[in-house]
Amino acid sequence: MKYQAPRGVKDLLPPESELFRLLEDEVREVFGRSGFREIRLPLFESADLFARSIGESTDIVEKEMYLFSGKGGESLALRPEGTASLIRAAIEHRLAEPGRLERLFYQGPMFRHERPQAGRLRQFHQAGAEILGSSDPDDDVDLIATVSRHAGISRVPASRLLINSMGCPECRPGYREILVDYLEKNHDLLCETCRRRTKTNPLRVLDCKIPSCQPVLESAPHLVEFLCPASRSHFDRVCRGLEGEGISFTVSHRLVRGLDYYTETAFEWVSDALGAQSTWAAGGRYNGLVRHLGGGDVPGVGLAIGIERLFLLRELAGTLPQKAGAAVHLAVHPLEEAARPYAHRILASLRDNGISAVGIFGQTRLKKAFLQAEREGALFIGLLGGDELSTGTITIKHLATGIQKSLPTFPPEYLSKALREPWTPDPV
């Protein structure tokens, strides 16, 4: 085979492509019903934007970005995630302004140069929703509810919601010191990576999954116990709000975001049914990000859903959205040369009237035409021969029931209407 798709990217063929589209549509609808409006963002940006927003020392920026140069030599990158672009666009077009509240969502492919694995691709899809301009805990609750209720939990097997608080610039530095103290005391019990991170990014140490580190990390001081009154209150109100909504969650003290402009609430939806990549949606509050990217003092909270992961989970649970109706309504088959122009006219008029129709032209045997119609998912087959030509009719057979009728092809609205109505035998 001379050419094949690059590593880690997938061709999506029918029927999966159709189901994938339905799932994307459903997510779009869910966000739309919660008041989010779609923003269409470019697939590449200045590489520097991602370095600044995601963080210089993250794996994504250090080794996973697809980098390339523009003609002028500027450094560009395929987007590894959506939030950075969205914030950039919001600042650029004055949607992120102090005092203004904006709900936006995006959907589309993201690119990370990682080793492919179950639920992990080099080109994958995310749908994300962001609320800019609100620091109200009820907006955290509402955002979480949107996913938990509607995209969600009930349709995803073995799914759990984890939440935690990252604190704020007032209280996190204090906690960080306490944590570093603790980690240094237990230095000898930690793995190589954790020792390094104790110095570079102590909060991330809590994320370590190496078994030998677990006892130390489990008994590490919890950030929520060191929150300042304001952060404490924000977190309590989010938790109470979720309880009030009847959304169950677990406070996970080990759930962290490594970067400073992530503040207050962090949350993740995980499922054990997914393999090693257990997170299928994640989000949090980022009250410092807009300012960090050169905008005003505008708080924000957002999340992203991994569409492939959601797809896998819902496929497993049998809860993918169902395809409505047949792929093709009517397959038209001319039985002789003279009927071909007639067939084209009928196809055109059906399509004009909103009916999906295909022509079956290449088959010499009627049996083959039937088989082809079925293969294309047609509901009806329409036959055109000498009789039909001379009387201006078409012989239509409902493939599932075998019920057959002869219908006039003029006016075209009549035929379209008949094809949409329940197909029962004519009274004798």
Partner RNA sequence: GUGAGUGUAGCUCAAGGGCAGAGCACUGGACUGUGGCUCCAGGGGUUGGGGGUUCGAAACCCCUCACUCACCCCA
Name the residues that contact RNA, by CB under 7 A. Answer: 1, 4-5, 7-8, 58-60, 64, 81, 112, 114-121, 124, 126, 193, 204, 207-210, 258, 268, 275-282, 304-306, 308-309, 335-336, 365-368, 370-371, 374-375, 383, 385-388, 395, 397, 399-402, 404
CB of 150 to RNA, least distance (A): 16
Comparing CB distances to RNA, the nearer of 172 and 257 is 257
Q: Measured from the CB atom, is 317 or 366 closer to RNA?
A: 366
Task: Name the residue nearer to RNA (CB basis): 112 or 329.
Answer: 112
Distance in angstroms (rounded) separating the CA atoms of residues 406 and 397: 9
Identity of the residue, 59 or 225, whose beta carbon is nearer to RNA in the bound complex: 59
Distance in Å, CB of 172 to RNA, minimum: 18
Which CB atom, from 11 or from 246, has the smaller least distance to RNA? Answer: 11
Cβ distance to RNA smaller for residue 74 or 374: 374
Q: How far apart are CA 330 and CA 373, in angstroms?
A: 8
- Nearest-approach distance from CB 314 to RNA, in angstroms: 13
Question: Sheet containing 102-111: which strands, arranged edge to edge?
Answer: 37-38, 102-111, 123-132, 300-306, 279-285, 263-271, 159-165, 250-251
Residue 282 neighbours by CB under 8 Å, 6+ apart? 267, 268, 269, 303, 304
Nearest to 132 by CA among 106, 159, 154, 158: 106
> Which is nearer to RNA, 271 or 416 (by Cβ)?
271
CB of 100 to RNA, least distance (A): 26
Q: Return d(Cα 41, Cα 210) in angstroms, integer.
A: 38
Shortest distance, CB of residue 48 to RNA, whole angstroms?
19
Shortest distance, position 31 Cβ to RNA, whole Å:
15
CB of 51 to RNA, least distance (A): 14
